[in-house]
Amino acid sequence: MKTANLFFLMMGMIISIPATANNEALNRAQYMIRQMNAELTQLKATNQGLLAEKSSQEKDYKALQKKYDKLVSKTDKNKKKMKGRVVEVKQKYKDEVMAHADTRKQLSTVVQQKNKFFEIATQQTQTIDLCVANNRKLYEINLELTSIYENKGVWDSVTQAEPFSGLSQVKIENLVDDYQYRLDDLRVEVEL
């Protein structure tokens, strides 16, 4: 558009110049027109190059836009997937915490039961030890009684049956009571 205005301006100058100066002005005007035509050709070529570059850049832009849209879509999908995974992991964590709490309760119960069983086992061990000790004492009492019975002579049998004074019978009853008390002391009562 500027070139066309310039051309008309030049033409107006050529017409208004006198004939002698006309040749010189004409030559100058023609030179300027050739220069403008060369510039115009160069500008058209540059414009064509810029249009081609613009077209190429638009294609690149469209390709990049498609890639961007795909990446945004993929990112959104990944974001949704990650949100779902986070929810899943949180739920799993809650479940694990609850399971851990249940396990701790069970462990506490088992420890209490173990302590109770240990206490019972200790009591039973003490009772068994007492029974073993008392059994030894009962064995000794039994040996004493057997020895007394074996050493009982005819005279002891006759005096025991003697009906008048009953002293031997009292002596024997006292001996039986003494042994009965000793046996009762050695008796172990077991609580269930």
User: pLDDT tens digits, residue range 25-55?
Assistant: 888 888 999 999 999 999 999 999 999 999 9
Residue at 160 is within a domain: no
Residue at 162 is within a domain: no
The total number of structural domains in the chain stands at 1
pLDDT at 96 over 90: yes
Residue at 177 is within a domain: no
Burial class of residue 40 in the structure, from the number of CB atoms within 10 Å of its CB (0-12 exposed, 13-18 middle, 19+ buried)? middle
- C-alpha 48 chain-centroid distance: 65
pLDDT score of 166: 58
Lowest mean pLDDT among 13-22, 23-32, 55-64: 13-22
User: Which domain covers residue 113, as residue numbers?
Assistant: 2-151
Query: Which pTM was predicted?
Result: 0.41
For tokens 């077209």, name the residue. 55
Mean pLDDT of the chain: 80
pLDDT score of 66: 92
pLDDT at 7 over 70: no
pLDDT score of 168: 63
Residue at 91 is within a domain: yes
Give 107 or 173, the one with higher predicted confidence: 107
Residue at 192 is within a domain: no
Give 22 or 125, the one with higher predicted confidence: 125
Q: What is the pLDDT of residues 176-192, one digit of tens each?
A: 788 787 777 777 676 65
pLDDT score of 104: 94
pLDDT score of 13: 58
Q: What is the pLDDT of residues 112-129, one digit of tens each?
A: 999 999 999 998 898 888
pLDDT at 14 over 80: no
Residue at 62 is within a domain: yes
pLDDT at 165 over 60: no
Residue at 158 is within a domain: no
Residue at 25 is within a domain: yes
Greatest CA separation for the chain? 199
